[in-house]
Structure 1
Amino acid sequence: MARRNSNVLSSDFEEARGQILEAAQSTFLHFGVAKTTMDDIAKAAGVSRPTIYRYFRDRDTLVAELIRLRSRKLFVRGTKYVLERETFRDQLIDGLIFMVDRGRKDPLIRLIVSPEHMDLAAAVVGSSQLAADLTLEMWGPILDRARENGELRSGIDNEKACEWLGLVQLILVGRFDFDDPADPAHRQMLESFVLPAFLA
């Protein structure tokens, strides 16, 4: 009986948390992250401000969780897109272009991938290294698969490689904001300077 009650409480907790995240997402998308307050989110969720703090330590924690959720939805599409490519070479190049182009267009994911939001990103990401963790979540399994297939250079550490890929993605966001993502120059740059770091 106690276990059943625990499951009910857990279910209620997750449901309430989900409702707050949904309200926060619509509020952020409507007003913009910088202008949205916890009072705005509480009003949209139909709860008090202290209630939100029961589920999220602060506003930055809430934003980080939304970024994580939206990123994971993008990862589903991104992984499908990447695995449609036969070679790791194409998976890495096409995947980076695809993920950065989609991510930079998402108003919440953009917070951790664009230069103009660096101050806010530093506050949101803080010591949790959200951007690096998410990059590892997306690319770690791809690197593992390439390693198994003998396509990945030996001695590559997934965590360090993904930390570096995160920096490459920042560069691409800046380029894509000013140039067409379909411009072959982007691919040439990645083939010349990124691929050699990974290929066996």
Structure 2
Amino acid sequence: MEKVKPPPSPPDRTPDTASLLERVYGAAGESAGAGDELRSRILDAACEQFATLGVRRSTIDDVARRAGVSRITVYRRFATKDDLVEQVILREFRRYFDQFRADVHPADTPGARVVAGFVGSLRAIRGNPIIGGLLSAEPDMFVGSIMGDQGRTVAVVREFTAAQLRREQRAGLIAAEVDADMVAELMVRLCASFLAIPSQIVDLDDETQLAALAERYLVPMLGPAPKKKQQKEQ
């Protein structure tokens, strides 16, 4: 499998955001290396445990039992519960990014990719065993993680989304004048708000409605399609 490189950094990316985005890819590379199968087993067990009982009520002992190892073995790889939780979340970030790419790949225009990305993101995040579990079992913790981390969670997803938009710009499919960072910020915050605050108007289970919403309100953020340059006849 081809190793995915981190997306290019914009000039104004903050150190905190850069660190988190790089750690998302770094953690993925570490797990993909297959150098420590036991570490992956512990992360799988932690993911199942957190999804079943929630992060707050789960302990290292719970994770160790589910993984079939001793608590000392867990601590040798993850110094604290917070460290374990962070590594689980970083891995889920990477899985979400990979799923996003898979969702938008079949689309043949920037607008269609925005629609596919928006609908796919809501589906993937709500179905994620960790994030989806927090949404249903510990909604206050989910909202707190978004609102209480100085915007780092939103920032890392925005950075990933902006990188996709800049790739479209380099290909000449989105006008260079479009502010990729601001468009990504608005798209990610809209998605996060639907996840965090139940809507009485938008049914998140109705993907046809979600696609229509994205087509009407998100795609116009891309601006008019750049005019194709006419090639001179040789």
Q: TM-score, normalised by structure 1?
A: 0.71
Which amino acid is 1:195 matched to?
A: V
> 2:179 — aligned with what?
156
1:180 counterpart residue number: 205
**Using the alignment, how far apart are the partners of 2:172 and 2:40 within structure 1?**
42
2:149 matched to 1:126?
A: yes
- Which residue does the alignment assign to 1:5? none
Within a 5 Å distance, the mapping from 1:45-84 to structure 2 comes to 45=67, 46-48=69-71, 51-84=73-106
C-alpha RMSD of the superposition: 3.5
The answer to whether 1:97 aligns with 2:97 is no
* Structure 1 segments unaligned to the other structure (5+ residues): 1-10
CA distance in 2: counterparts of 1:171 and 1:18, whole angstroms: 32
Structure with a larger share of its residues in helix: 1
- What secondary structure is seen at the aligned counterpart in 2 of 1:194? helix
1:22-76 deviations in whole A, cap 9, x for unaligned? 2212222333334212221133331225x54443354343223223323322432
The alignment-based identity, stated in percent, is 22
* Partner of residue 136 from structure 1, selected from 159, 167, 182: 159
Q: 1:196 to 1:65 in 2, by over 3 A?
A: same
Aligned mates of 1:120, 1:103 — CA distance in 2: 12
CA contact (8 A) 1:140 1:162 kept: yes
Residue in structure 1 matched with residue 190 of structure 2 by the alignment: 168
TM-superposed deviation, 1:103: 1.5
Do the aligned partners of 1:103 and 1:109 also contact (CA within 8 Å) in 2? yes
AA of the residue aligned to 1:181: D
Q: Normalising by structure 2, what TM-score?
A: 0.62
Deviation at 1:170, TM superposition (A): 1.8
**Aligned: 1:30 with 2:57:** no
Residue 189 (str. 1) matches residue 222 (str. 2)? no
Equivalent AA in structure 1 for residue 123 of structure 2: D
Q: Residues of 2 paired with 1:12 and 1:146: CA distance? A: 33
Question: Is the contact between residue 152 and residue 199 of structure 1 (CA under 8 Å) also seen in structure 2?
Answer: yes
Determine if contact 1:20/1:41 at 8 Å carries over to the other structure.
yes
User: What amino acid is the match of 2:159?
Assistant: L
* Structure 2 residues not aligned, in runs of 5+: 1-32, 225-234
Shift of 1:106: 1.6
**How far off its partner does 1:128 sit?**
7.8
Classify the secondary structure of the residue corresponding to 2:99. Answer: helix
